[in-house]
Each structure stands twice: as structure tokens, then as C-alpha cells.
Structure 1
Amino acid sequence: MDKKMPQYLTAPYQLLWFEPDDLGIMVVGYMLAMIFGGIFWVVMIAAPVAYGKIKRRYPRGFLRHMFYVAGWTDLRGYPSYYEEEFFE
């Protein structure tokens, strides 16, 4: 086998103890800190830590559903929110 099979298929990718969504928040914080400086250097670290604490209280995938409810994204492969009846 050329490729290794991960031990846990549902485990997200991680860099140190940060998951990809935490890293995305850090990258945005870093860009804001490079542009504006000041308090954004603290936000770069504090925002992912706070988001991680919030994320632990909800089931996996809640952020995608929050974006869907806000109207920022679509859930592909699923019926629309207003469908009362659908056939598989």
C-alpha cells in the first residue's frame, strides 16, 4: 500500500491542537493583525480558543448548519428547508 489508512476515519485533520476551522479563524486574525496591528494580535489567539469552547457544546457540523440558517451557504444533496414532502 502506498497510502496510509487513518486510524479514525471521522477524526478531523489537526495541526497541533487546532482543527481546520480554528486555523481559518487564526489566519483571518493574522491578516487583520498584519493590516491593522494592535489588538488583533490578541484576537488571533483568543478567537480560536473561544470558538473552540463554543464548538465543544454543540454537535459536529453545527457551523455549516448555522451558515445555512443565516442564508450564507447551501447544503448540497439535501432537500430545501421548506420541502414538506420529498422522494428519495
Structure 2
Amino acid sequence: MGTVIITGTFVLVVLGFGNPLHWLAAVALLYVYVQYGRDTTTSSSSSSSSSTPPPGPAPTTYKAYRARRDLQTKWERRYERERGR
């Protein structure tokens, strides 16, 4: 999709040497692509699950891994208790 937009913009710029209105169309095309057409999967996946935070960086030591795992278990137990199972 991005290749088509870039090619279309290039054609409009080349045509713009005869008619400046084509340059405005090229700018409008790029604006619409940047605002609405790029990477729509990111917005849909970020809104799908807002209750759980994204995972942080991987722990470098086993001790850090255990601490993070224990904290995760603590929060899961608390969540289950508040939900009433």
C-alpha cells in the first residue's frame, strides 16, 4: 500500500510542473496516508485490552524473574478475590 501511495505522489509531483494543483493533490494524498492509512493494526490491538499493562523488559537474572512472577501472582490473586470468582 505504501508503494502505491509513494508512486502516486511521485506522479502527481511530476504532473505538477504543468499544473500546480497536482502538487496540492500530492500533499493531500500524503497527509491522508499519514493520518489514516499507516499501520491500522496498532490502534486496534492497543484498544483490545486496556486492563492489563504491557509486559516490561525481560528480567536479566533468575532472582528478578522470580520477583516479577511473584508480583504477577499476587495481583492475579487479588483480582480473583475482588471479582468474587
TM-score, scaled to structure 1: 0.33
Larger Cα Rg: Structure 1 or Structure 2? Answer: 2
Q: Looking at secondary structure, tell me which structure has more helix per residue.
A: 2
Q: What TM-score do you get using the length of structure 2 for normalisation?
A: 0.34
